[in-house]
Amino acid sequence: LYSKDLYELEIPFSFLGQEIIDKLKDISFSRSKAMANYYWDMFYSIKNMYSSLKKGKNCVIIVGSTKIKNIEIDNSKVILEIANHLGFKTKRILKWNYDKTRRSGLVHKIKGETILIFKK
């Protein structure tokens, strides 16, 4: 498990991620902690992807956006910031929104996904 200490809510590799954590702290400490752990886990995962890939190769990450207590969270922007911080170059960004007519529990929780394509 890559997650930081229980009370570690600092995200030094993403300004946007830190803003989200700070907003969530005012609403729910447990949700802010969970989101901080998610961003730390993604940081280490992307770092491992970067070190594993050969120069000139591509990496694709699919990430969803969500809403927590009336705070819209576009995780793709944070992941983009993390990947660029670690050395990836953004090649392409594709947005995909869920069909609102589809009957699924996901429709109300996850609004869509973003496909991020990076190059080392």
Q: What is the pLDDT of residues 17-60, one digit of tens each?
A: 999 999 998 888 888 888 999 999 999 999 999 999 999 999 99
Q: Which of 6-20, 43-57, 85-99 has the highest mean pLDDT?
A: 43-57
- Per-residue confidence (pLDDT) for residue 101, from 0 to 100: 53
- Per-residue confidence (pLDDT) for residue 38, from 0 to 100: 92
Average pLDDT of the chain, as a whole number: 85
Using the structure block, give the residue that is written with the tokens 């954590």.
Answer: 21
pLDDT band at 11 (very low <50, low <70, confident <90, very high): confident
Which residues partner with 92 through β-bridges?
A: 117
Helix (H), strand (E) counts: the chain: 4, 4
Q: What strands lie across the sheet with 71-73, from one edge to the other? A: 71-73, 58-68, 110-119, 89-97
- Closest alpha carbon to 63 in 118, 2, 120: 118
* Contact present, 110 and 64 (Cβ < 8 Å): yes
